[in-house]
Amino acid sequence: MIETASSPRTHYFTFAALLILLVVTVAVAQVDLGPLNVVTALGVAALKTFLIAVYFMHLQTARSSVRVFAVVGVMWLIMLLGLLLNDYATRPLVPGAASSHHVDPDAL
Amino acid sequence: MTASVAHQFDDAEQQKHAATLGMWLFLASEVLFFGGMLAGYAVYRAAYSQAFAAGSGHLDVWLGTLNTAVLLTSSLTVALSVQAIHEDRRRLAARLLIATIVLGFLFLTVKGVEYAHKYDERLIPGRHFAFEGEQDDNLSAANVELFFSFYFALTGVHALHMLVGVAVFAVLAWQTVRGKYSSCYHTPVEVAGLYWHFVDTIWVFLFPLLYLIDSSS
């Protein structure tokens, strides 16, 4: 039987790392970095989620089948977002919306 | 008290593994439940970037930050509670679960304060929605209203998940005090903990997407 190997110390370290990342993400958001604002915000969120999943949700000691379920959950999300945004990013502009930089979803 | 093994399982270990795997499967489906809304948010945010930035500007970054810290702390108390029950420290485990419930209510209270502000500012989508200021095709009241529709749908459904979590922990804390769980059997506490951590990670994404991305512009 796989028992949780994590100790209270691991939990406190994880918690401290999460709080530091929270401060970082709020601080970085106050600076205008253009498109990089989205990238850093989502990057930090992904890192926080990774820490929570691995240490709080015990993925580091979980059986491989549980890990597969966790990874597959993320992969479905990547497929959903990736294919959808790929469609919107590459679809030719509809006539009449040529002035718009983006495709107007209501016009489709 | 030792675990009672249902007849379809070989042993307690297999039963525990099935419960854990079942929760992860449920959480994977929850990823897509929130993922659908987030996909819609991404598309409309790209299309109406100025309106979504204007709407985001009406959110209070500091209350959002406070709530994120509250939720991360509640994840710590859950993790420590699971650890405590693992070591047969029932009293500590129950106290940590109660702390989690208190933190959950604190989060929901702050959320309620934010919702009340939006009501005062007439930013609740519907016939009384009002958005003043310069407007054009992109930055129109209707498009800002769309941002707030996403805001209330996403945070509302998230808050609903938290209410469910709080109710589950109330039952678990009671059962822990009554001595139902021990180092031998504590699967419900562990599985509920997985759910709570997941709800935490949803907020970890909602917070930057709704509050932060446009806060510098």
* pLDDT tens for each residue of B123-147: 999 888 988 877 888 888 899 999 9
Residue B82 is predicted with a pLDDT of 95
| Tokens of residue A48, six digits | 């926080």
For residue B207, the chain A residue with the least C-alpha distance is A45
Section A22-37 average pLDDT: 90
Q: Which has more pLDDT, A47 or A31?
A: A47
pLDDT tens for B73-109 read 999 999 999 999 999 999 999 999 999 999 999 999 9
Residue of chain B whose alpha carbon sits nearest to that of A104: B47
Among B43, B71, B101, residue whose Cα is nearest residue B204: B71
Half-sphere exposure of A70 (CA within 13 A, CB side): 19
What pLDDT is attached to residue B1?
44
**Contacts with B217 from chain A: Cβ below 8 Å:** 32
- Verify whether the Cβ–Cβ distance A66 to B20 is below 8 Å: yes
Task: Indicate if the pLDDT at residue B19 is higher than 50.
Answer: yes
> In this predicted structure, what is the pLDDT of residue B132?
82
The mean of the pLDDT values for chain B is 93
Q: Give the pLDDT score at A88.
A: 85
Question: pLDDT at position A92, please?
Answer: 65
Per 3-state DSSP, chain A is made up of helix, strand and coil in percentages (nearest 5) of 70, 0, 30
- Please tell me which residue of chain B has the smallest CA distance to A1: B13
User: CA B92, B95, B97, B100 torsion: positive or negative?
Assistant: negative
Chain B hits for A84, Cβ within 8 Å = 39, 42-43
> Which residues in chain A have their CB less than 8 angstroms from residue B38's CB?
81
Q: What is the DSSP string of A24-59?
A: HHHHHHTS--TTHHHHHHHHHHHHHHHHIIIIIS-G
From chain B, pick out residues whose CB is under 8 angstroms from the CB of A12: 76
B72 contacts A53? CB cut-off 8 A: no
Residue B187 in this model has a pLDDT that exceeds 90: yes
Dump pLDDT digits (tens) for B55-70: 999 999 999 999 999 9
Tell me: the pLDDT tens digits for A65-94? 999 999 999 999 999 999 998 888 887 655
Q: Quote the CA–CA distance of B42 and A86 in Å, as a whole number.
A: 12
B16 pLDDT more than 60: yes
Asked if A84 lies within 8 A of B39 by C-beta distance, the reply is yes
In the predicted model, is pLDDT for residue B210 greater than 50? yes
| Per-residue pLDDT band at A103 (split at 50, 70, 90) | low
Give Dmax over CA atoms of chain B in angstroms. 68
Measure B210 CA to nearest chain A CA, in Å.
11
Reading the block at residue B182, the tokens are 């021990």
Q: What is residue A98's predicted lDDT score, i.e. its pLDDT? A: 46
pLDDT at B55: 93
Q: Which of residues 75-134 of B touch A (CB under 8 A)?
A: 75-76, 78-80, 82-83, 86
Cβ within 8 Å, pair B39-A42: no
The closest alpha carbon to B203, from B144, B160, B169, B170, belongs to B160
Q: Is the confidence at residue A108, as pLDDT, over 60?
A: no
Q: What is the dihedral sign for C-alpha B139, B142, B147, B148?
A: positive
Residue contact A38–B216, C-beta within 8 A: no
Nearest to A52 among B17, B200, B217 (CB): B200
- The pLDDT tens digits of the residues spanning B106-120 come to 999 999 999 999 999
pLDDT value at position A34? 83
pLDDT value at residue B217: 66
